[in-house]
Chain A
Amino acid sequence: MKRIGVFICHCGINIAGTVDVKRVAEALKDYPGVVLATDYMYMCSDPGQSLIRQSIKEQNLEGVVVAACSPAMHEVTFRKASAQAGLNPYQTEIANIREQVSWVHQDDKEAATRKAIEHIKTIVEKVKYNESLIPLSLSLVKKALVIGGGIAGLQAAIDIATAGYPVVLVERSDRLGGHVGQLSGVYVNFNAARDLLQSKLQAVQANPRIQVFLETEVEELGGYVGNFTAKLKHRGSDGSEPTFSEHTFGAVIVATGHSLRPLSKFGEYGGGRYPDIIDALTFERMLAPDGPTGGEIRRPSDGQVPRQVVFVQCAGSRDPEHHMPYCSKICCMYTAKQAALYRQRVPDGQAYVFYIDIRSQGRDYEEFVQSAMTQHDVLYVRGKVARLYEEDGKVIAWGADTLTGKPVEVQADLAVLATAVMPAEGAVELAQKLRIATDEHGFFSEAHPKLRPVESLTAGIFLAGTAQAPKDIPETVAQASAAAAKVLSLFSQRELVAEPTIAYVDEELCSGCGLCIPACPYQARTMHPWKHKAIVNEALCQGCGACVVACPNKACKLRNLTPSHVLAMMDAYLAEV
């Protein structure tokens, strides 16, 4: 019989305060197969781990049960300790007597102690049947797909290609550059956006490792980290049928950018029916030297230079009742820039900015907004604009000055709305194709808001730029480089390593009924083309066990959790203490 050691952790008083750990150790001592049952204050500490290592060597242990916290916390820790002592790590298991015992039975110490004993005996039985497993190694295609040719996609492609790996960059429209390509000057130094973009475009064009596909979208994405298969759809020229191409990639960066809340959604501001109520991107084009007016500020209705301009911040942002609840983050800064540029170009003009708060977090940002107020004499009014309409050739803004508590009416020539930043059109559909998550607004969700901000929840798919949330150019570029760094650390491995505790099929028992295929939530099951037996894609399988339940012949099994394991565990759990 396997020689098994049981290590019971006090977790300070987290476990020992409720569970009588000495009695648990005593009860396990004579359990069949157990050659050692001991307790310690903190098993995860260095001395705790060293106790496990030492016991493995001295007692020739062939299996280890650590009765401690959830395996999500320290399974890796204890398996590593076992491996250091020469024991196959898959011979070490956790019995969770903290979250599942001591924390939930604090008012009944007797019952908690008995439950802890049952728990540990169950896991001892499991370890008796455990096989020594070797982690899986998966091949890795060292080529990246970048979706979106804006500043985020360009930066990510440049970083990956510079490190020596090939990149395919796909862009839906007929040009690279995204929104940055539509801007005039950028805050806080008024540098021309064109120049910023040009340096990136040249780097992309100069790098032979970057292949650019314009007018191309991702039609399908299959496979898994290291081995994605992508079907790309290339729009046909002059309305001809689209063509498709297939590629394999090791990693994907999603940098699809954003759209703006359309004026038609703003009934309170005319719903798009007034020519001189425009959104800030339209005004930005007016400021840009390559724009429709050649950089001259002229209002759309009659081409006159507007003498009074009202800028409306938070148009559709921070308004959960009617529009989007979130802050679009970039508007305070670009509105200050646009108002300052307007004042520079129309020195006798008056600019009003209606704002709720000024959010100017960034180096030199606050100084920049202050300079718009002081150097450029932009008049900031703290309050929302309730209504905008046109009458007698004027744009009338009704608002409030909340600092004086008075209603305000401005008769202007032009109104510029800082409309809310929204996910790009088709973002949710793309998320479904890529099997990544979006938030309730359609922005792609990161794996962890603090610790994994550039990863999606799907391994091998990373996020960059405003596709994930509103952000400005420096943040977008930083995130794009971070996503590229994640891709590079993936590509720096020789091969991918995966957990072996996944499903397998006993071909003798499999009748080829195929019930496991729809049961699998990870698309890891397929039918062998001519054997007519179910097969498991080891890279996609997450070991959830749905196929095991679905299989009528018990041909599907999970490694180290076979029916033999489970029946022995049940026997142990249901036995009288």
Chain B
Amino acid sequence: MRIPYYPGCTLSTKAKGFDQAARQSFAALGIELAELKTWNCCGATFPLSRDNLLDLAGPVRNLVSAAAEGDKLAVACSTCFNVLKRSNLVMRNEEDKREKINFFIEADYAGSVQVLHLLEILRDEVGWDNLAKAVKKNLADLSVAPYYGCMFLRPPKEMGFDDHENPQILENFIRALGAQVADYPHRAECCGNYIAAFDLETTREMSYLILASARKAGADLIVTSCPLCQFNLDRWQQDLAMKHGGFRPIPVLYDTQLLGIALGLDTTTFDLDKHYVDPRPVLAEKGLI
């Protein structure tokens, strides 16, 4: 199976390991993530300024590229996924905006492409049972805390593939890999990255709530599919450990990194060494790398 794939800027720069792990893992599962021939930044601003049509031009150009290559578009990054999926709904449902954007970018696109997150493809195309069968490593001793963040599930009426207050897709993913799910209350809470630029202290405390709660629930590591959350949760842990006595830093992995590890792939291109909190010791301790 071949699915057109949108990597996005972060996965081409700071989160190359996320991208590499995605492509290699899906290839191992028999799915070619075929990078779009032309693509540009999704803009990442859609959720912040809904009325500015110009902000839609960028993401819609990507959708137009995708439509030329297939009827689906696979996305790994939660934020890109949110922007592309919601821009697509605008093109599908809002005639007025559709006409203006098509006129501006010289296209004729009406939202035909189905924008899918990689986790959705694992759930709906591969299936959890088949995924479990493909797992090569034994993760039974590993406790993983799912972290959803904001962009992946909200707004629920538009994203609409899981319950935004009580989501299950990451839990099912972790279980399919054979690992234990660390059940903690803050898995869909905001990590605070949107206010990092002007109130870093609040951002850090919001992250701390999540990190400490996951630790309390016995998690060995956290998985997420949002590079913004990943950076934010990962980056400040040394400072937080200094401030909050007793806090033990916890690695924050991308979902595809854990997927690749479970499938027994070579992890050299996964950039496991580029995390602020090094995940390698715990992975080695559990016999996974």
Contact = CB atoms under 8 A, between A and B. Distances in A.
Interface of A: 266-268, 270-271, 273, 322, 387, 389-392, 396
Interface size class of B (residues with CB under 8 A): 10 to 19
A391 B163 contact: no
Given A391-B185, A391-B213, A391-B216, 20 more contacts: A266-B165, A267-B163, A267-B164, A267-B165, A267-B166, A268-B165, A270-B166, A270-B185, A271-B163, A271-B165, A271-B166, A273-B183, A322-B165, A387-B185, A389-B185, A389-B186, A390-B185, A391-B184, A392-B216, A396-B185
9 contacts: A267-B164, A267-B165, A267-B166, A270-B166, A270-B185, A271-B166, A387-B185, A389-B185, A396-B185
Nearest to A267: B165
Most chain A CB neighbours (cut-off 10 Å) among B166, B183, B184: B166
A142 B204 CA distance: 75
A322 B163 CA distance: 11
B142 to A, nearest CB: 22
Contacts of A389: 185-186
Closest 8 CB pairs of A and B: A267-B165, A267-B166, A389-B185, A271-B166, A268-B165, A267-B163, A391-B185, A391-B213
Nearest to B213: A391
Contacts of A396: 185
Nearest to A390: B185
A3 B164 CA distance: 76
Interface string B158-179: 0000011110000000000000
Nearest to A269: B165
Interface of B: 163-166, 183-186, 213, 216
A392 B163 CA distance: 25
Nearest to B186: A389
Contacts of A390: 185
A270 B163 CA distance: 12
Main secondary structure of the interface of B (DSSP, over half): loop
A32 B89 CA distance: 68
Contacts of B164: 267
A391 B183 CA distance: 10
A396 B163 CA distance: 21
Contacts of B166: 267, 270-271
Contacts of B185: 270, 387, 389-391, 396
A14 to B, nearest CB: 44
Contacts of B165: 266-268, 271, 322
B135 to A, nearest CB: 26
A266 B216 CA distance: 24
A129 to B, nearest CB: 55
Contacts of B186: 389
Contacts of A267: 163-166
A266 B165 CA distance: 8
A375 B165 CA distance: 38
B182 to A, nearest CB: 12
A322 B185 CA distance: 20
B146 to A, nearest CB: 14
A389 B209 CA distance: 13
B157 to A, nearest CB: 9
A387 B164 CA distance: 13
Nearest to A392: B216
Nearest to B156: A322
A273 B165 CA distance: 13
A271 B183 CA distance: 13
Nearest to A322: B165
A172 to B, nearest CB: 30
Nearest to A273: B183
Contacts of B183: 273
Contacts of B216: 391-392
A390 B184 CA distance: 9
B168 to A, nearest CB: 10
A389 to B, nearest CB: 3
A392 B218 CA distance: 12
B37 to A, nearest CB: 40
B163 to A, nearest CB: 5
A320 to B, nearest CB: 12
A387 B186 CA distance: 10
A255 B183 CA distance: 42
B56 to A, nearest CB: 25
Most chain B CB neighbours (cut-off 10 Å) among A268, A271, A273, A391: A391
B145 to A, nearest CB: 13
Contacts of B184: 391
Nearest to B183: A273
A556 to B, nearest CB: 48
A271 B185 CA distance: 11
B144 to A, nearest CB: 18
A396 B185 CA distance: 10
A270 B183 CA distance: 11
B192 to A, nearest CB: 15
A273 B164 CA distance: 16
A270 B188 CA distance: 12
Nearest to A266: B165
Contacts of A268: 165
A389 B78 CA distance: 25
B185 to A, nearest CB: 3
A387 B213 CA distance: 15
Nearest to B164: A267
A24 to B, nearest CB: 51
A402 to B, nearest CB: 21
Nearest to B166: A267
A393 B8 CA distance: 42
A415 to B, nearest CB: 13
A387 B166 CA distance: 12
Nearest to B188: A267
A524 to B, nearest CB: 45
A50 B184 CA distance: 82
Contacts of A391: 184-185, 213, 216
Contacts of A387: 185
Nearest to B185: A389
Contacts of B163: 267, 271
A380 B186 CA distance: 26
A268 B186 CA distance: 11
A50 B183 CA distance: 83
Nearest to A389: B185
